[in-house]
Amino acid sequence: MRAKLIDGKQIAEAMRAELQPAIAKLKAGGVVPGLAVVLVGENPASQVYVRMKGKACEQLGMHSETIRMPAETTEAELLAVVDRLNQDAAIHGMLVQLPLPPQINETRILHRILPGKDVDGFHPENVGKVSIGDPTGFRPATPYGVQQMLVKAGVDTRGANVVIVGRSNIVGRPMASLLLHKGPGGDATVTVCHSRTKNIGDVTRQADVLIVAMGKPEFVRGDMVKPGAVVVDVGVNRVDDATTEKGYRLVGDVAFAEAAEVASRITPVPGGVGPMTITMLLYNTVQAARQWAT
């Protein structure tokens, strides 16, 4: 294996340590940063993610609240919980874990969260702020985490050709916006590929930095990677594997073994982007508490 691993877990732990002085300063002023997470239903991946968020808050001495609701929850019932959290002075940041059951309109729920508490960065006001580089806007945690991972790993994006595979509102589009900003982790030349992109391998092979968030197991193969490129795999997919105790294994959107033979640096799955996502959610919550206090 030629590529060097970018250890998201290690970077995330270091960044959480850097966050502690800011939390201590807020506490000294009587403000304990508070994060509320609402989970509807019993999606296994969401349950794990929510537990990890709560644990991370506790480790940093932040206030954490998790509201679990059954899959049969109505939209009106969920909106009532969002309204309560909007008015709760102990909660500075809140998010409703996606996906939601089919009877609930995700857009209506996300738009109901106050922009000042929208630490997922999905409200249109925050999307707009991030797009124009307003520092008071909340950057979505996953693309924010990818950007900071690149910065901390010493990957220079200035003038680099960055190709993003995937155009979702959660990762692809905000990722492109962040990479276009001026400053560390920005100043890149950005191309976004998607399911309608023709000859996608020809495009990905032009990337100095390749960020893959397609939601398809091992979609990017080794021959789609430019020699020496940096590869960031955002995907987390379960694939059946009878040889494992659980009957499945986790893979990314990149065929890791193949890409690692071509790339210079690559993120693993798990242990790459995932820990960074939770860390940047904590950063956004502290930012929300700071903005609330001033």
Provide DSSP, 216-253: STT-B-GGGS-TT-EEEE---EEEE-TTSSSSEEEE-S
- The pLDDT assigned to 46 comes to 82
3 state DSSP class of 182: coil
Using an 8 Å Cβ cutoff, are 219 and 231 in contact? no
- Degrees to nearest 5, angle at CA 264 with 259 and 268: 55
Residue 48: band (very low, low, confident or very high) from pLDDT cuts 50, 70, 90 = confident
pLDDT tens string 84-123? 999 999 999 999 999 999 999 999 999 999 999 999 999 9
Contacting residues for 21 by C-beta, under 8 A, at least 6 apart: none
- The pLDDT assigned to 9 comes to 95
- Report the catalytic residues: 53, 97, 120
Long-range Cβ contacts of 18-22 (<8 Å, 24+ apart): 19/60, 19/279, 19/282, 19/283, 19/286, 20/60, 22/286, 22/290
